[in-house]
Amino acid sequence: MKAGSNLEKILTSGKFAVTGELGPPKGADVSVIERKANLLKGNVDAVNVTDNQTAIVRMSSIAVGAILQRMGIEATMQMVCRDRNRIAMQSDIFGAYALGLRNILCLSGDHQKFGNQPTAKNVFDLDSIQLIQTVKLMRDEHKVLGGDEIEGAPAMFIGAAENPFADPFEYRVIRLAKKVAAGVDFIQTQCIYDMAKFERFMQMARDRGLHEKIHILAGVTPLKSVGMARYMKEKVAGMDVPEEIIARMKSAGKEKAREEGLNICVEQIQRLRQIEGVHGIHLMAIEWEDAVHGIVERAGLLPRPQV
Amino acid sequence: MIIAEGKPIKEILAMIDDYDKIIVAGCKGCVTVCSAGGQKEVEILSSALRLARKAQGKALDIKEVTLERQCDTEYLEPMREYADQYQAILSLACGAGIQFVAEKFRKQPVLPGVNTQFIGVTEEQGVWTERCQSCGNCLLHQTGGICPVTRCSKSLFNGPCGGSKAGKCEIDPQIDCGWQLIYERLKELGLLAKLEVVLPIKDWSTSRDGGPRKRIREDLKI
Ligand code: SF4
Ligand code: SF4
């Protein structure tokens, strides 16, 4: 065990993991977190807490992560490279560990241009792969960058994201391999709608033996409407939504759209489970946390294993 | 070269509001090439300022001059002859030139007439684009001659990030993804294996982060 987190235990014991996601509030209201967290509790093995996602100012991912831990829910803190330099990042990792956090997801971070602070100065002192290296150095060699010894290593289970649908497609597996070389333990992918393309990606990952070195969790997001499907396809960077899915959402009509979105999501999970090297799913029900229980149950993934 | 762009006339008018005798000083270096602060721009700006001030009913006496360079002491010297007769100097050189004028001419305020933007190239007539952020430790040999610090919107060293789509950057469909360019170039050169290596954490101390920079060549000093 590297960190001994629940997520690590589930994955290393060969069980199929389910992780969820929680977006912190745009303010200091703790009740929002508690409401969302209670909908996720018991349905997932760990909850990702986003770090000022889309560059919109929200409560800190570490603070929210600590609140979740207190509620008995395991958190995965996301950390982006956009807002902090290596001094602040390493310091925050110490602090997060001290507050009980055991999983970290290392991300580049969305550019601030589309957030609510477009005139901010960005940092990007490290990139996401270098952040993985840094956390690993702290955990395994008990050092900070530059080589100084540390008092008490933060034993974090290290994750990263991968978008199999970004371009250039042939390069995505090379980048995954770089993350593996940097020392990542698990990967959560961007939400998958184009199953065939994802299968090709997984084939390429298996060809390199990457599926045996790390745990890949496939990202899924239930669609709420045909509008959302179209928006994801056209507006969200690096997202592929096949016409077939858009057509299904459309023919469901307004009334039944949500139901059809959930059906598609459950079917996707079932297909993803069959893919060799997929060790779990990362369920991102954006502002739709009350759908999580039903999806996980219908996918036959409840109750969550106790390890 | 250094690319700059003329400041809006309104902003300049506000800067010179208190003065009725100014020098508008252009530079024959980079700002001439990028059409921001050469002799032509000095002329155009000066007449625009005169007209605007006339409309305000306030006289304005402008001395127009375009120096060989504003970033070298020797080329600034000729301005000594008449500088004291003017209340302010509006420089159309890059930020370095403007500051150098301000250092050498201490009796009157020196004002910026342009916004200095970046180190770049003339991509085509009338189009300039950024190429270098002067990080002080060039790594172009590792990235196919394309700078990730500058051309990637997030200055990533191990891109492309998940936002790269159809060759464009997530921040703007008009902006090329720097890492897509690097990928294509290395592919073209048969050097894709370079992309398998994790580029190390950068030492930013050679960049502006290490404080204002200075270069000395003892052998050239007199
Ligand atoms: S690596 Fe540094 S010096 Fe080289 S082009 Fe990029 S910013 Fe300029
Ligand atoms: S899309 Fe390309 S250029 Fe834009 S931030 Fe990502 S890697 Fe950099």
- pLDDT band for position A16 (cuts 50, 70, 90): very high
- pLDDT band for position A237 (cuts 50, 70, 90): low
Which residues on chain B are in Cβ contact (under 8 Å) with A127? 154-159
Cis peptide before A24 (omega within 30 of 0): no
Contact A111 B170 (CB under 8 A): yes
What pLDDT score does A235 carry?
Answer: 78
Beta strands in chain A (DSSP E): 17-22, 46-49, 75-80, 103-107, 157-162, 186-191, 215-220, 278-283
- Could you tell me the domains of chain B? 2-118 (3.40.50.2300), 135-206 (no CATH)
Tokens of B21: 């005798």
Residue A236 has pLDDT above 80, yes or no: no
Cα-Cα-Cα-Cα torsion A68, A70, A72, A74, nearest 10 degrees, comes to: 40
Which amino acid makes up residue B144? G
pTM greater than 0.90: yes
Nearest beta carbon to residue A108 from set B154, B180, B201: B154
Contact A171 B157 (CB under 8 A): no
Nearest beta carbon to residue A113 from set B160, B171, B177: B171
pLDDT digit string, tens, across residues B176-188:
999 999 999 999 9
Nearest ligand, CA of residue B182?
2
Q: Rounded to the nearest whole angstrom, what is the distance from the C-alpha of residue A91 to the centroid of ligand 1?
A: 29
Distances (CA, A) of B141 to A194, A231, B8, B130, B185: 37, 40, 39, 18, 12
Which residues approach ligand 2 with their CB closer than 6 A? Answer: B 152-154, 156, 159-161, 163-164, 169-170, 177-179
In B, minimum Cα distance to A177 occurs at B196
What pLDDT score does B160 carry?
Answer: 94
Which residues on chain A are in Cβ contact (under 8 Å) with B158? 127-130, 175, 178
Which protein residue's CA is at the shortest distance from atom 6 of ligand 1? B147
pLDDT digit string, tens, across residues A175-212:
999 999 999 999 999 999 999 999 999 999 999 999 99
Per-residue pLDDT of chain B (222 residues; tens, 9 = 90+): 999 999 999 999 999 999 999 999 999 999 999 999 999 999 999 999 999 999 999 999 999 999 999 999 999 999 999 999 999 999 999 999 999 999 999 999 999 999 999 999 999 999 999 999 999 999 999 999 999 999 999 999 998 999 898 999 999 999 999 999 999 999 999 999 999 999 999 999 999 999 999 999 999 998
Question: Relative to the CA of B168, which ligand 2 atom is closest?
Answer: 1
Residue A108 has pLDDT above 70, yes or no: yes
Nearest beta carbon to residue A108 from set B161, B165, B200: B161
What pLDDT score does A238 carry?
Answer: 66
Which residues on chain A are in Cβ contact (under 8 Å) with B154? 81-82, 108-109, 111, 122, 124, 127
Q: Is the CATH number 3.20.20.220 carried by domain A6-298?
A: yes
Quote the CA–CA distance of A165 and A161 in Å, as a whole number: 12
Mean pLDDT of chain A: 96
- pLDDT band for position A146 (cuts 50, 70, 90): very high
pLDDT digit string, tens, across residues A248-292:
999 999 999 999 999 999 999 999 999 999 999 999 998 899 999
